[in-house]
Amino acid sequence: MDLLFLTRLANVDLHTSESFDCEECFGHGPYQKQMLFLILLGTLFTHSQTLVVSLVTGDVDHWCKMPGGFNISEADWKHIAIARETDGRFSSCRVYERCKPPAEHDASESTQDVHAVTPTVSSWYNRCFPDQVQDINSTRDAPCEAWDYDVHTAESSAVSTWDMVCERKVMRVVLASMQSFGGVVALVLVGSIADYIGRKTLLLGSAILLFISTICTFVATGYAYYAMARFLAGASVAVNGFFTFILPFESMTHAHRPQQVLLLAVIGIALSEVWTVVINLILMDWRLKQVIFLAPTALLLPALWFVRESPRWLVARGMLDAAEVVMMRAATINNFPLPATACLVQKLREHVKNPAVCESGDRAR
């Protein structure tokens, strides 16, 4: 229950870790710009993963499937068998009950020639045609059991692959919910261990899991498999997106934190939206669309190779030697005087060894 109680922070020196401004420690320059690029990538990939479900499950024109044994065109089938909505359009989910085949026809359909109409089902076959109908309930409709799709757009959406239409439309919502639920679960679990493991470790681990889960969504052939892959992708992208903000935020100077972090986040979201519009304009198989749309995710791992641990987290955990290495590297990249960095690190060491004396000295000044 570390997440709910503050005992997990007992060994964390938050006072020391927040007692300095990065401007005084290693300046502001190229080092922070590298971190801003990380925010841009993180926002771009996080938002893209959020949008991908709606991108590949767009609506496709559909109607009740014509049973085997009907030697009529698709247009004739619609006019004869498909119910109409109140606005006069053909229904996507309803068929006239008189045109639904009997159970025995379904069972024997696979053994009959596609154009054959046997005497046992001829009465049902004739009943579907309006000029043969005498029943006053001939316009009574029923839900579809199978669907046909517009051949021009069917392959562009996963809707046609798993029949996510009509009563099954909730399957689309489940995919988006699984992804969101994965993010919530991951953040709850990671929140309790983030202060122990470190920002960089979680950032790299989540990036690797994101890469693997994204590949799984590419090769998934079944709905359940795809939903689970989306759950893992949602979990990993939530953690990755969170720490692509936290790590740069803890390395930024106080004066530049709000404006630059928010600016790069907005740019990342805007780029993701533009990328979505571009991909939507191209008619292609939904699996290929997904691959192209998420292909930039491959840039994340190389970008993280150059990331260093948060100096504030290292100080908070008492790892001053490791913190000094990171600070010195940042000072070198920013062309900041190394003696000034070394002096601040020494003050931090003194603060850790004897915090009471340091605090009284600060008050005296």
Kindly report, residue by residue over 264-301, the tens digit of the pLDDT: 888 989 999 999 999 988 888 999 999 999 888 888 87
- Judged against a pLDDT cut of 90, whether residue 7 lies above it is answered with no
Tell me, what amino acid is at 76? D
Number of Cβ atoms within 10 Å of the Cβ of 317: 18
CA–chain centroid gap for 123, Å, is 52
- Judged against a pLDDT cut of 60, whether residue 179 lies above it is answered with yes
Question: Which tokens sit at 224?
Answer: 């359940």
- Mean pLDDT calculated for residue range 330-357: 79
- Judged against a pLDDT cut of 60, whether residue 362 lies above it is answered with no
* Gap between the Cα atoms of 230 and 58, Å rounded: 17
DSSP track, 311-361: HHHHHHTT-HHHHHHHHHHHHHHTT--HHHHHHHHHHHHHHHH-HHHHHHH
> pLDDT tens digit string along 15-69?
555 666 777 778 888 888 888 888 888 888 888 888 999 999 888 888 788 777 6
Domains of the chain in start order, with CATH, are: 6-58+169-355 (1.20.1250.20), 62-149 (no CATH)
pTM, two decimal places: 0.77
- Judged against a pLDDT cut of 70, whether residue 356 lies above it is answered with no
- Assign 164 to helix, strand or coil: coil
**pLDDT for position 256:** 72
The residues with which 362 forms a beta bridge, in sequence order, are: none
**pLDDT for position 36:** 83
**pLDDT for position 288:** 92
Tokens 């803890």 correspond to: 250
Q: In the chain, count of helices (H) and strands (E)?
A: 18, 5
* Gap between the Cα atoms of 168 and 256, Å rounded: 49
CA–chain centroid gap for 235, Å, is 8
> pLDDT tens digit string along 319-337?
888 888 988 998 898 888 8
- Mean pLDDT calculated for residue range 152-176: 89
Among 88-92, 143-147, 162-166, 270-274, the minimum mean pLDDT is found in 88-92
Grade residue 4 by pLDDT with cuts at 50, 70 and 90: very low
* Gap between the Cα atoms of 234 and 56, Å rounded: 16
- CA-CA distances (angstroms) from residue 113 to 81, 221, 335, 342? 22, 30, 81, 87
